[in-house]
Amino acid sequence: MHNNVRPENMARIEDFAQAQAFIDEQIAAVREQVGSKKVLLALSGGVDSSVVAALLIKAIGKQLVCVHVNHGLLRKGEPEQVIRVFREEMDANLIYVDATDRFLDLLAGVSDPETKRKIIGAEFINVFAEEAAKLEGISFLAQGTIYPDILESDGVKAHHNVGGLPEDMDFELVEPVKLLYKDEVRVVGEALGLPRNMVYRQPFPGPGLGVRCLGAITRDRLHALREADAILREEFDKNGLAGKVWQYFVAIPDMKSVGVKDGKRYEGWPAIIRAVNTTDAMTATIEQIPYPLLHHLTERITHEVPGINRVLLDLTPKPTGTIEWE
């Protein structure tokens, strides 16, 4: 499995036994490739990088150096989960970098979505490269490339999997799941003992909440977004929708409307709920959310999240609307 073409006779990984066989095979392959040298991995906490981290920890232990960069645009509880699962439970060699201020300072006043994406992507690479430069004896770079990435591009994802590192950082790649589809990666993740909510976490864009805090990102609106999104995820979990809906999130626009609180008028932001189903992300349909749940979500978000005074539901399929707002 050292080229980028999935063999026609490669069986789909659908159960624990197949996953275990794949893990054993990859552990042997990684040990042969790496020997006694060190491997560097950008660990986002997403499905692919988490599965690669767990697999490599099994294969080479402390020879793997994981770098988790918190750009301040992750969902509530995500950096803490990465530290708990990998450092505390798996005893990983994990470097945690809280670069929140660095990213938010660069993004201050920037409203153009494409510019925001470029700033986040470039700064992620800068932070990761700085951390890599502090380390000695790194010979390999592990990436969470999966088979659809290879089919869609040249096999190197932008920014999330650090495709654009400086040229003087010349590493050989370790890509143990590059011939797997996403559903297979999840089965392998479960077999490796990763938490189910990490393995089945919904797709999350590389720029994170940066493309859901619409327009120029402010810290107060970002905080409101993170809290409202956490309530949405909690209620979807409780009500059995988490496994039924492909992607669901909150977006908060850079606009205010008048509301009433404690008998007084005040201005607050609207929280926009988006819940879609798709098989390929090229088209998407809208999930039917029961009205009692929508009322409950509205009650919780407007009462528990400072600054939000309305809850809206986005009913637009793709096409005409993209899944993300920005």
Domain edges within the chain = 16-199, 212-313
Looking at residue 318, the DSSP 8-state letter turns out to be B
- Answer yes or no: CATH 3.30.300.10 is held by domain 212-313: yes
CA distance linking residue 275 with residue 294, whole number of Å: 12
DSSP 3-state of 40: strand
Mean pLDDT of the chain: 92
CA distance linking residue 210 with residue 10, whole number of Å: 38
The answer to whether 225 touches 209, Cβ cutoff 8 Å, is yes
pLDDT higher than 90, residue 280: no
Whole-Å CA distances, 72 to 85, 122, 163, 303? 19, 15, 21, 24
Sign of the alpha-carbon torsion through 280, 117, 98, 302: negative
What CATH topology corresponds to 16-199?
Rossmann fold (3.40.50)
CA distance linking residue 100 with residue 9, whole number of Å: 46
Nearest 10 degrees: CA dihedral of 242, 313, 70, 48?
40
CA distance linking residue 41 with residue 39, whole number of Å: 7
CA distance linking residue 38 with residue 229, whole number of Å: 38
Whole-Å CA distances, 18 to 10, 13, 14, 15, 117? 11, 5, 7, 6, 38
Residue 312, token pair as written in the block: 């809206």
The model's pLDDT over 9-29, given as tens digits with 9 standing for 90+, comes to: 888 999 999 999 999 999 999
Q: What percent of the chain has pLDDT over 90?
A: 83
Residues in the chain: 326
Cβ contacts of 294 within 8 Å, gap of 6 or more: 273, 311, 313
The model's pLDDT over 38-87, given as tens digits with 9 standing for 90+, comes to: 999 999 999 999 999 999 999 999 999 999 999 999 999 999 999 999 99
The answer to whether 64 touches 56, Cβ cutoff 8 Å, is yes
Residue 168: pLDDT band (50, 70, 90) is: low
Lowest-confidence pick of 20-29, 32-41, 203-212, 299-308: 203-212
